[in-house]
Amino acid sequence: MPVYFSTGGYKNFNTVNVVRNLISNGLNYIELSGTSYAPDNIKRLTEFKSTARFQIHNYFPPPKDPFVINLASMNKEIYEKSINHIFNAIESCGKINSNYYSFHAGFLCDINVNEIGKSVKKKVLQNKEDSISLFIDRLKLVSDKAKKHNINIMLENNVLSKKNLEIFEENPLLMCDSNDSLNIINNCPDNIKLLVDVAHLKVSANSLNFKCEDFFSKCNDLIAGYHLSDNDGLSDTNSTFDENAWFWDHLNKNLDYYSIEVYNLDFEQILRLYSLTKKKLNIL
């Protein structure tokens, strides 16, 4: 049961330098996410295959021209960028011995890069039922591609802040709650599971007025991994957590994917958090 550390907090840093620093500080299980674009990122990472275990998440390898992945988009250009990025990520997994690729669930509108994690300008929303049907059809293509490379796929639950709920006056995102998550993943091939970001869940539950524990219990059989961080319940801040964090009692402690996604920590703080996580998960 490995515990990974996410590179998502190093968005403007060179990938190889980040990986080298993590490994030199004793962190050999790394979830690749964020970091800066370089055409040879994957090729250079192959030199670490004997000393590190990698998994790939969302915007890795970083695209040359940033965009927001939306596999539910009805915009042909955005869909093609999204599916091409996902296919490239799956192929990249095979090159660095990763066995998981995870990415965010789709949206009912297309979001700009500068709106990620912030207030989203109100837009006309796609029909939800049509969007879910489209999303599932495209996930079947992803599943086929992943099976050819022996890769498992995880969909991450989206985060809906109260601010964005007020702007749209309805939920513009897929898979924020258990109903969406169950509906979508139960209609996907068996190599597609759920990645629960506990911080996303905390914010979405607060915005949509449901209980986090209900989400965990209803979706338990679909969960293949977790992203671990915390926040104030209002927005996703990738803040640190401690031994009394709200989510510990709700985690399935028999999975093989746990990733710490806390930003702005020094290596001493990261190592303490890593040790705490292993202790709480009963990992020797």
Structure tokens at 240: 């640190």
**Closest by CA position to 88, among listed 115, 113, 106, 69:** 69
Q: What is the CATH number of domain 3-280?
A: 3.20.20.150
Q: Is the pLDDT of residue 118 over 60?
A: no
Query: Where do the structural domains in the chain lie, given as residue ranges?
Result: 3-280
Q: Average pLDDT, stretch 118-146?
A: 92
Q: Is the pLDDT of residue 28 over 60?
A: yes
**Spatial distance between the Cα atoms of 15 and 48, rounded to a whole number of angstroms:** 12
pLDDT band at 237 (very low <50, low <70, confident <90, very high): very high
Q: Average pLDDT, stretch 104-121?
A: 79
pLDDT band at 117 (very low <50, low <70, confident <90, very high): low
Q: Average pLDDT, stretch 91-101?
A: 96
Q: Is the pLDDT of residue 82 over 70?
A: yes
Whether pTM exceeds 0.75? yes
**Burial class of residue 228 (count of CB atoms within 10 Å of its CB; 0-12, 13-18, 19+):** buried
Q: Is the pLDDT of residue 115 over 80?
A: no
Q: Average pLDDT, stretch 25-43?
A: 94
Distances (CA, A) of 135 to 37, 41, 155, 194, 232: 27, 29, 11, 15, 31
Q: Is the dihedral of CA 41, 75, 168, 212 positive or negative?
A: negative
Averaged confidence pLDDT in the chain: 94
Half-sphere exposure of 260 (CA within 13 A, CB side): 28
Distances (CA, A) of 206 to 58, 272, 274: 25, 29, 27
pLDDT of residue 49: 87
Position with higher pLDDT, 182 vs 34? 182
